[in-house]
């Protein structure tokens, strides 16, 4: 390599921050994907959400940014809370089927603190052909700690989009702090006067104080990480003299926890300087323990965590409410929430197209039921009808905690059709399936 070429390369490296700043300032939503660690701390991570269906009976619906979600009529019920400063960019969604005839248009817009942002997508109904890919514009959008975010879907005029069409959303979040990623969740119904647990990606109402229900909500971590923040906001305070403790509960105990307390008239808390070191395969759930007088009825809470991973990986979780079959191959949608059943014999009905590409780096799955002899279960992330990454749970792993871990690299290209598959071997027990995965490079 000549000295002149070396000088040119050094000049290009010196000018790169200026070039990135110019593109970033113009609102080009691709900059965060191309160079996420230059403009901000990174890594760029995908936040996935699937709406159950487009509701024909109303014109405006609100949806959360993560998990799978039945639409809300009230915006506060769909808000997620941002736990660290960063940028949202590259919003996109796909429809699972044709949206409808001409005039059956749906526009979905990112909302920030109760107001529309400039980031939105519109899907126009047509008289023929496929209407599954919208026209998107706007962004990036800067967000700060405590900001409330959601999607709002607006159906044009008196149109009636086809029933049963699912909207599959993705958006890129990039933290201002290196190596940080986030996850947002919330409850959906009554907060009780006893201890309750929630899974990471659920809108399901809290499980009660039995050990069985605690295990029901635990989700496996996909990679070695550090939880650096727990941020909670409630819609209704406990009241004078009462409080509620919120925790990230590890492996069914209070060991290696991270927590914060909301007391009296306060409506939010932050774990501040606490951290929890997590190993691949560790299982965590959200836990709420109130005092006897903290009766807030049907009030909701919003909860977010900040997770640090030095490999710049981001994470996703899936959890089924219904048991996977002991005899049949089951399918379910990618990154669904706790209330979605697995059993679906037809894979095509569960496939969802995600517009950004990414690289899967690990997968952890477990079913908390005993297996014996040659019983096993093959759990896979499927890409366009083929196995992308799998792990097999069998009796040789553990008879009381059926867990499998796969590390590797599987490239998922843009617009791939993704879903999960459960394939039983020799009639294993039909337990609840939980899956965690990690990925890079959205």
Dihedrals φ, ψ of 241, to 5°? 85, -5
The answer to whether residues 174 and 186 belong to one domain is: no
Residue 16 lies in a domain: no
Instruction: Show the tokens assigned to 107.
Output: 């526009």
Domain boundary among 308, 330, 353: 308
Q: How far apart are CA 96 and CA 154, in angstroms?
A: 17
> Tokens standing for 69?
């979600």
Name the residue range of residue 232's domain.
182-308
pLDDT number for residue 337: 47
Could you give the CA distance from residue 228 to residue 306 in angstroms, rounded to a whole number?
Answer: 6
CB atoms within 10 A of CB 277: 11
Residues 161 and 71 in one domain: yes
Scanning the structure block, which residue is given the tokens 């965060």? 32
CA distances, 246 to each of 60, 259, 262, 268, 270 (Å):
32, 5, 8, 10, 10
Residues 103, 218: one domain? no
Q: Specify whether 166 is located in the same domain as 190.
A: no
Say if residue 45 is in the same domain as residue 158: yes
Domain boundary among 262, 284, 308: 308
Count of domains observed in the chain: 3
Domain assignment present for residue 72? The answer is yes
Q: What tens-digit pLDDT sequence spans the chain (442 residues)?
A: 444 444 334 433 443 433 333 333 333 332 222 223 334 466 888 887 766 566 655 678 888 887 655 567 788 888 889 999 999 998 887 777 777 777 778 888 999 999 999 999 888 777 555 566 677 888 899 999 999 999 888 877 555 666 667 777 888 899 999 999 998 887 766 677 888 888 766 555 456 665 556 777 788 888 899 999 999 999 889 999 999 999 988 877 777 789 999 999 999 999 989 999 999 988 888 888 899 888 776 677 888 999 998 788 888 887 766 678 889 898 887 765 434 455 566 787 777 766 678 899 999 988 877 788 888 899 999 999 999 999 998 866 554 567 899 999 999 988 788 888 999 999 988 877 888 889 987 6
Q: Do 271 and 145 reside in the same domain of the chain?
A: no
* pLDDT attached to residue 425: 92
d(CA 107, CA 123): 6
In a domain, 412, yes or no: yes
């Amino acid at each position: 390599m000549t000295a002149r070429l070396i000088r040119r390369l050094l000049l290009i490296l010196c000018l790169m921050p200026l070039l990135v700043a110019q593109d970033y300032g113009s609102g080009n939503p691709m900059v965060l994907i191309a160079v996420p660690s230059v403009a901000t701390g990174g890594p760029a991570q995908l936040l996935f959400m699937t709406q159950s269906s487009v509701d024909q009976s109303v014109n405006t619906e609100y949806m959360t940014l993560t998990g799978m979600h039945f639409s809300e009529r009230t915006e506060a019920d769909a808000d997620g809370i941002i736990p660290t400063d960063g940028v949202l960019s590259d919003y996109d969604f796909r429809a699972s089927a044709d949206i409808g005839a001409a005039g059956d248009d749906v526009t979905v817009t990112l909302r920030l603190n109760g107001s529309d942002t400039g980031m939105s997508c519109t899907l126009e109904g047509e008289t023929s052909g496929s209407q599954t890919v919208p026209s998107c514009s706007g962004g990036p959008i800067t967000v700060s700690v405590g900001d409330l975010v959601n999607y709002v879907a607006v159906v044009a005029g008196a149109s009636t989009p086809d029933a049963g069409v699912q909207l599959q959303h993705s958006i890129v979040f990039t933290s201002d702090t290196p190596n940080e990623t986030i996850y947002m969740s919330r409850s959906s119904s009554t907060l009780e006067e006893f201890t309750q647990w929630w899974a990471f990606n659920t809108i399901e109402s809290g499980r009660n104080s039995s050990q069985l229900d605690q295990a029901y909500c635990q989700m496996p971590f996909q990679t070695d990480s550090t939880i650096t923040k727990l941020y909670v906001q409630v819609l209704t305070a406990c009241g004078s003299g009462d409080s509620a403790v919120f925790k990230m509960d590890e492996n069914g105990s209070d060991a290696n926890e991270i927590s914060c307390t909301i007391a009296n008239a306060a409506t939010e808390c932050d774990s501040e300087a606490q951290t929890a070191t997590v190993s691949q395969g560790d299982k965590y759930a959200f836990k709420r323990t109130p005092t006897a007088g903290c009766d807030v009825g049907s009030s909701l809470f919003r909860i977010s965590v900040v997770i640090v991973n030095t490999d710049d990986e981001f994470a996703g979780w899936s959890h089924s409410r219904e048991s996977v079959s002991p005899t049949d191959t089951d399918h379910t949608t990618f990154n669904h929430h706790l209330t979605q059943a697995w059993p679906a014999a037809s894979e095509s009905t569960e496939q969802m197209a995600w517009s950004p590409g990414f690289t899967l780096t690990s997968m952890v799955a477990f079913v908390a039921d005993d297996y014996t002899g040659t019983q096993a279960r093959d759990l896979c992330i499927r890409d366009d009808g083929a196995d992308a990454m799998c792990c097999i749970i069998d009796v040789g792993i553990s008879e009381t905690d059926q867990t499998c871990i796969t590390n590797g690299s599987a490239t998922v290209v843009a617009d791939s059709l993704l879903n999960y598959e459960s394939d039983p071997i020799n009639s294993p027990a039909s337990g609840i399936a939980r899956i965690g995965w990690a990925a890079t490079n959205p």
